[in-house]
A and B are shown apart, each in its own frame.
Chain A
Amino acid sequence: MIAARWIFRLSFRQLVQRKRAIGLVLFTALPGIVLAIASASVDEDELIGLFHDLNVGLYLMVGLAVAALLNASSAFGEELRASTLSYIVVKPVPRWIIAAAVTTAATAATLLLAGIGLAVTWLVAIITIGDAGLGLAPLTALVIEALGYSAVFVPLGLLFSRATLAGLAYIFVWEGILGRALSALAPSSVWITAFSGYADIGEGIPDETLGMLGNLVPGAGGALAKVLVAFVVSIGLTTLLLRKRDLA
């Protein structure tokens, strides 16, 4: 457990101390900034709908997804590129502990950076709409999406040298276009899974926005269970890659 703690600490610090961390916070805070500007010209009822639209369309689909991709794919990817991975793997540490610690660190880094962005939006919602409960739905979705995307993108960083590009293709082509066009693919989409958790908790979500769920039934518990299973499978896959792949 000591090794796991140290590896977690290292990975987390490396991810949150990168220069791009500030950019990611600002990027994920965009819905709050737009909401603050819009609040001057939109009434309260419309503002609630706008809050949900911005959270789903801008935060879950784009900002949080990109933040999670950059953190998760670079968790191992940057170590490989910088040739520092030997400090972790040429050690008497079981591979599954390395995989679990790094994947958890990537998730925690996304929760922190995208969480600050969400806090900005939440604060704006409290000031402009006056309802603190509105933030619970995006908070639930943040946890689901951070776990889900970390599960997908951490092993990707070990598999491909251009994992970020592959991840962007996954987010914008597979999930953004195909996942929405073909309802059969929707359950494989991390952001739609997160949105199903969001829809279960959020109130006053416009019908048109809810329509993006397709046939998927909203459910925060089911969505969380699904990404937790993906998270465990991902640790298993990462462990396998650490054992089988060339690591230099």
Chain B
Amino acid sequence: MTDARFAAEPTVEVNDVSKWFGQKVAVSELSCSFGPGVTGLLGPNGAGKTTFLRMMVGLLTPSEGRITLLGESPRSQPDVFRRVGFVHEDEAVYEVFSAREFVTFNAALFGIPDPARAADRALETVGLTDVANRKVGTFSKGMRQRAKVAAALAHDPTVLFLDEPLNGTDPVQRAHLIGLFSDLAERGHTVIVSSHVLHEVERMADRVIAMVDGRLAAAGSVADLRTAMTDIPRRIRIDTDAPRKLGAALLIQDWVEGVRLIDGTIHVEVRDPVALGHRLPALCRDLGARLTRVDPEDTSLESVFRYLVKPR
């Protein structure tokens, strides 16, 4: 059986990589690889995704472990960047440049023969031709994102790293960019996209590497991750005029993991929320209890990831 952490034809390989800043561990003993196709790097804010991406493109040195990009170390062999594109998370762009100058600058630094033409092509790809002569400093967040993507695409990179590339974009721009990344993947490029939004990743990635607290939480296809998530107990808050009676009745159900009564409110942990939905009205009717509120708790992506890394 193959290990879901590793790609079949790796272009980026990560071996036991850790990174710490003083006492703070940002990334801990990560081993995985990336190959052609779109891989989503998923995790809540602060999971270490940006640090990990920055190490993969050589902006940060791993405290321990080794990263190879197209067979080379990105820190010592800058020539490898001829085939690499990177879109960082920050909004920052060179505000003194127009969009055309900004992309031409990036294309020229990649060493391609006609940077101006490559820039025009890239700007067209992201739909910024009409504003190519406007200073990027005057752009909205979404337009800046597209200018950054154009700058990273101008040299048609083999490996593309994108740190939260859909931030600030509207739904139309988002759909366009997702289509763009999927096209690259279909042409055999390696696209690594970080995001903290599961449904975004789901729309573009064939494979997911999930991180929590700097550690690898899960790896595999989006379907694998979804399956893992269905096993997670859900916490549900129930307000009723008979909390003790209803809590006791819930506790003996075999799909209930636990019940807590806090300030007259029931907090129930269930393995099968659908069963709760079916059974709760009947239980209330039998007990003569009146429901005033039923709300799911703790359904954020972060809690899902925390569950995945929790020792069991």
A interface list, Cβ under 8 A from B? 2-3, 6-7, 10, 13-14, 17, 82-95, 243-244, 246-248
Are A14 and B59 also in contact (CB < 8 A) when A2-B108, A95-B78, A243-B75 are?
no
Minimum CB–CB distance from A12 to chain B (whole Å) comes to 10
B interface list, Cβ under 8 A from A? 54, 57-61, 75-76, 78-82, 84, 86, 88, 90, 92-94, 96-97, 105-106, 108-111, 151
Which residue in chain B gives the minimum CB-CB distance to A17?
B96
- Contact pick for A82, options B60, B86, B92, CB 8 Å: B92
B109 touches A3 (CB 8 A): yes
Q: How far is A176 from B109 in the complex, measured between Cα atoms in Å?
A: 41
Q: Which residues of A contact B109 (CB under 8 A)?
A: 3, 6-7, 87-88, 91-93
B94 touches A14 (CB 8 A): yes
Q: Which residues of B contact A88 (CB under 8 A)?
A: 109
Secondary structure call for the A interface: helix
Minimum CB–CB distance from B151 to chain A (whole Å) comes to 7
Can you report 16 residue pairs joining A to B where beta carbons are below 8 Å apart? A2-B111, A6-B108, A6-B109, A14-B96, A82-B90, A82-B92, A83-B88, A84-B93, A86-B59, A87-B94, A87-B105, A87-B106, A92-B81, A246-B61, A247-B59, A247-B60
A92 touches B92 (CB 8 A): no
Q: Which residues of B contact A89 (CB under 8 A)?
A: 58-59, 78
B79 touches A92 (CB 8 A): yes
B151 touches A92 (CB 8 A): no
Which residue in chain A gives the minimum CB-CB distance to B93?
A84
Q: Which residues of A contact B58 (CB under 8 A)?
A: 89-90
Q: Which residues of B contact A7 (CB under 8 A)?
A: 109
A86 touches B57 (CB 8 A): yes
A248 touches B80 (CB 8 A): no
B111 touches A3 (CB 8 A): yes
Minimum CB–CB distance from A80 to chain B (whole Å) comes to 11
Q: Which residues of B contact A94 (CB under 8 A)?
A: 78
B105 touches A10 (CB 8 A): yes
Interface pairs A-B: 5 shortest CB-CB: A83-B90, A248-B59, A91-B109, A92-B82, A92-B81
